[in-house]
Structure 1
Amino acid sequence: MKNSVKTLDRESLNRLAIRYVERYATSRKKLARYLQRKIGEREWDDAKPPAVEELVEHIAALGYVDDATYAQSKAAALTRRGYGTRRVSHALYEAGISEADGREAYQTSESNKWAAADKFARKRRIGPYAESQQDSDKCRKQLQAFLRAGHDFDVASRFVFARPGAEISEDS
């Protein structure tokens, strides 16, 4: 019994790539991974082997994929959700963003690290946003959560060990 999935050729791979970039903001690496996965899932029905990197570069040349813009939007989204600079830089690394393309995005997340930590603490009701003072075991777990979210230890500890209702600022 033959697989009912359509086989791929150069034209259908091109259509898949265009469809993917019109639906999702993506980086070159993520687009290449997607296309490789689709080739693996389906049969290749062309005499020439698939030229995924050439296709990705062609689509990037058309302006459909821009790693720097993707990096900016990804960093902004993660920072708004309360993630720290280490988590942002890891996400950019996973997306295949080069250091040059990700530099501005990293600087943006670095300059907004206090607001991101405040958002994270507010969402999780940690430190000044807690209803009551936490015991040491709970504080340890909250500190670990802050660190997993990519925040620096000093920023995380200032939030975690703050009394409920206390006002903490970036300067103190």
Structure 2
Amino acid sequence: MAKRRAPFDRSKRPLSAAKLDELALAYVARFATSRAKLTRYLSRKVRESEWIDERDAMAACAAIADRMERLNYLDDRQYAAMRAGAMTRRGLGVRRVKAQLYADGIAEQDSGAAIETAEDAALSAAVGFARRRRFGPFAVRSSDDPKLRERQIAAFLRAGHSMTIARRILDVPPGDDAALAALDEDAGLD
């Protein structure tokens, strides 16, 4: 039987500021990201390796993030607008958008416009969510089951929508074309 080689220990791979800069460039080329996410990525790479540069590792991470921002490879406002728009189109509500932007490390002054846009599109996002999940007016058949309604409201809340919007959509029975048209008009849909 052949001898197995010991697995390569990646944590002991040497890492310098130049290699860290290459990793950062590859990361921003591949992913749309925020400054905080890039800094977290670089910090993790430093923790997983053996730092061999004479400069402080965390200072190098911050300097690389500054450089990427100066080169316009990072733009937190643009990232926030893109992320909020994508989440709204998927049918997620304002609370989920706010939570995700906070988790991505976007500062309040950079996320303000994106959150306002998500708030303006809250009803249309909720209608899209209901359409995709076949809730309320998009259900196959009408149901008077209170447990089903509670589960649907809970799904709306987990998606980040308000209770008011969830109830408003779920109050429209399936097949009521006039109420659905009014809801679509309020949401700004076709």
- What's the TM-score bracket when you normalise by the shorter of the two chains? over 0.9
Q: Which of 140, 143, 160 in structure 2 is aligned with 1:150?
A: 160
AA aligned opposite 1:96? G
Contact 1:143 1:156 in 2 (8 A): yes
Write the mapping of 1:35-54 to structure 2, written as runs, cut at 5 A.
35-50=42-57, 51=59, 52-54=61-63
Q: Report whether the alignment pairs 1:133 with 2:142.
A: yes
Q: Could you list the runs of 5+ residues in structure 2 that have no partner in the other structure?
A: 1-5
Q: What is the aligned partner in structure 1 of residue 85 from structure 2?
A: 76
In the alignment, which residue of structure 1 is the partner of 2:173? 163
Counterpart of 2:17 in structure 1 is 10
The structure that has the greater radius of gyration is 2
Runs of 4+ in structure 1 deviating by more than 3 angstroms, as ranges, are: none
- CA distance in 2 between partners of 1:47 and 1:140 (Å): 59
CA RMSD of aligned residues (A): 1.6
**1:26-69 Cα distance to aligned partner (Å, 9 max, x none):** 00000011111111222212222212112111111111000000
Q: Scaled by the length of structure 2, what TM-score is found? A: 0.85
Residue 10 of structure 1 deviates from its aligned partner by: 0.4
1:34 aligns with 2:44: no
Deviation at 1:98, TM superposition (A): 1.1
1:100 is matched with: 109
For residues 27 and 175 of structure 2, the distance between their equivalents in structure 1, rounded to whole angstroms, comes to 47
The alignment's TM-score, normalised by the length of structure 1, stands at: 0.94
Q: Quick one: distance in 1 between partners of 2:72 and 2:93?
A: 30
Choose 29-38 or 51-60, whichever is displaced more: 51-60
**Is the Cα–Cα contact under 8 Å of residues 139 and 161 in structure 1 kept in the other structure?**
no
Query: Number of residue pairs matched?
Result: 171
Distance in structure 1 (CA, Å) of the matches to 2:38 and 2:129 = 30
Question: Please, which of 78, 88, 96 is the counterpart of residue 87 of structure 1?
Answer: 96
Task: Return the alpha-carbon distance in structure 1 between the equivalents of residues 152 and 62 of structure 2.
Answer: 43
Cα separation, 1, equivalents of 2:94 and 2:9: 45
Structure 1 letter corresponding to 2:78: T
Post-superposition offset of 1:4: 4.9
Distance 1:85 1:67 in 2: 18
- C-alpha separation in 2, matches of 1:80 and 1:71: 14
* Structure 1 stretches lacking a partner, 5+ long: none
CA distance in 2 between counterparts of 1:165 and 1:9 reads 64
Q: Percent of pairs identical after alignment?
A: 42
* Separation (CA, whole Å) in 1 of partners of 2:46 and 2:170: 48
Q: Deviations over 1:117-166 (max 9, x none)?
A: 01100110000000112311011001001011111110011112321123
Code of the residue aligned with 1:139 in structure 2: it is R
Higher mean Cα deviation, 86-95 or 159-168?
Answer: 159-168
